[in-house]
Structure 1
């Protein structure tokens, strides 16, 4: 079973080109699944796995307090694994065929008001080296809606300031071109010209955003910076690295942007993923109405 799992992980990385974090998630889910069917169900080959076996594993997850979202993710991982095994003729049946994913409550993303975004963008001290970098990162995130993983993966060669766009490689190794606003262009240019050379020290690197050691900034490094800046801005909402991405999409739709255009900029494969932001805008409209209409 370990060899079959290794083959599947190799398939995800090389043939499907999935992001490293996604592959790690698949591997973690499937390791716990294989451990369960070997030790609890005493199954020795994947051909012996039945629908009942998988249901027993899902029951085990539920009894151990796993959320419906986590269980749904496990089902997706197990289904992909068994479909791969069937396609490669390792097994002759797919036991996941009649297993449904649990219904999940759709949580609306946390979004900042325009005034809160403005307050956050004004926090970095642009007279200082790190302030110029932080300002450029925040302006870029809010201007483009890219993911934090995409932000820290950007190279200097991906930024085309004269033409006003960035080239971004997203999930599944898919490339997209996203326009930049003037304020983001200015902040990035100042950072590249005045701050990045100091941060780079004497290292040779094409990474756009650097840490104090002159290396590419990590996701954890950015998260620490964002938490610090949020606190300084006096924002009490619980932010995540995706909050500016959510705010970008919501503010565009509130101002009449086309849903398809927003989908393309966010890099969503399915428009239904983008449609969640229409629910956010409706909720915000109701909130504004109830707060300000004299007869609400």
Structure 2
């Protein structure tokens, strides 16, 4: 069963040009399914029925997996069995009627502009680490890219002269501009801090850790959490908080949804629509507090 999973991942890479992150997610989801099926005595994919797949989804729910994780697993399973059906010429697809649980869309946590300013002012600019951290935070807020995309930026991906970066980690490559503040922060980092962190090492990655190696998601998360604490920010901050804040602040200041969608890399504009809804709710709150005849 492992062979078919690996062949499917290679198929995705060769025919769809999927990113490594996407491929890892598909592989992880399908290996979990494979483990479940083996426990049920199923050793071949053609033995799988619609009833078994539904039982697996119920098993994930009983194990208290998040609805978003289960939904992603359903998408992986559907894609995999569609591939098997085409390759093996199966008449029936057992995953055809498989349904994902409804995901309740919650408003993402965002920072106010003042909180962002406070957070971004925390790194000490008299140390190489502080200059690097300031550059990472400024670039993250200036572009709204994902943390996985930030830590995988190479020197070739950033054009400081024209003020834009090319983000190719996701399935849709996109070019995103950034302003003078982020540009100044990255230039300061490139001028001396990166050289000091690298020492005698060399690296294609834009941002490196204190050992001169590429940054990790966990490493960045610890950095962000530390600065949030020192800034006295009460709400729980995740690496996605600056991405959400970037989008919400753009919409609040009049940016059109289509442009924000392109910069965020959303395939569906309905995903971007949540930031417009947040803006409407904010306006309503202001109205209810201020209008004399509310």
Partner of 1:177: 175
Tell me the CA shift for residue 294 of structure 1: 5.5
Q: Is the 8 A contact 2:145 2:264 kept in 1?
A: yes
Alpha-carbon shift at residue 277 of structure 1 (Å):
1.4
Paired position in structure 1 for 2:99: 100
Question: Does the aligned pair in 2 maintain the 1:170–1:176 contact within 8 Å?
Answer: no
How far does the alpha carbon of each residue in 1:133-166 deviate from its partner, in whole angstroms, 9 at most, with x for none?
1111111111111111111111222221221211
Please show how residues 195-210 of structure 1 align to structure 2 within 5 Å: 195-210=193-208
Indicate if the aligned counterparts of 2:152 and 2:169 stay in contact, CA closer than 8 A: no
Q: Secondary structure at the match of 1:178?
A: strand
Aligned Cα root-mean-square deviation (Å) = 1.8
CA distance in 1, matches of 2:67, 2:262: 29
Q: Which runs of 5+ in 1 are unaligned?
A: none
Q: Corresponding residue for 1:223?
A: 221
Aligned to 2:35: 35
SS at match of 1:154: coil
Number of aligned residues: 294
> Deviation digits for residues 229-261 of structure 1, max 9, x if unmatched?
111111111111111110000000011101111
Q: Counterpart in 2 of 1:19?
A: 19
Which position in structure 2 is the counterpart of 1:141?
140
Q: Which residue is 2:65 aligned to?
A: 66
Deviates more, 1:184-193 or 1:98-107: 98-107
| Equivalent in 246, 262, 265 of residue 260 of structure 2 | 262
Structure 2: distance between partners of 1:269 and 1:71: 20
Q: Counterparts of 1:120 and 1:283 in 2: how far apart (Å)?
A: 25
Q: TM-score, normalised by structure 1?
A: 0.93
Partner Cα separation in structure 2 for residue 269 and residue 198 of structure 1: 39
In the TM superposition, what whole-angstrom CA distance separates every residue of 1:18-71 from its partner, at most 9, and x where no partner exists? 33333222222212212222322x334322322112112122222222332222
Task: Tell me, in whole angstroms, the C-alpha distance in 2 between the residues paired with 1:240 and 1:286.
Answer: 27
Pair 1:157–1:38, CA change in 2 (3 A): closer
In structure 2, the CA distance between the partners of 1:158 and 1:44, relative to structure 1 (3 Å rule), is closer
Per-residue Cα deviation, 1:164-209 (whole angstroms, up to 9, x for no partner)? 211221312x322111101111111111102111112121222211
Q: How far 1:122 moved relative to its partner?
A: 1.0
Cα distance 1:165–1:219, how it changes in 2: closer, same or farther (>3 A)? Answer: same
Partner of 1:193: 191
- Aligned runs of 1:243-254 on 2, under 5 Å? 243-254=241-252
Of 268-277 and 5-14, the range deviating more from structure 2: 5-14
| Aligned-residue offset at 1:228 | 0.5
| Unaligned stretches of 5+ residues in structure 2 | none
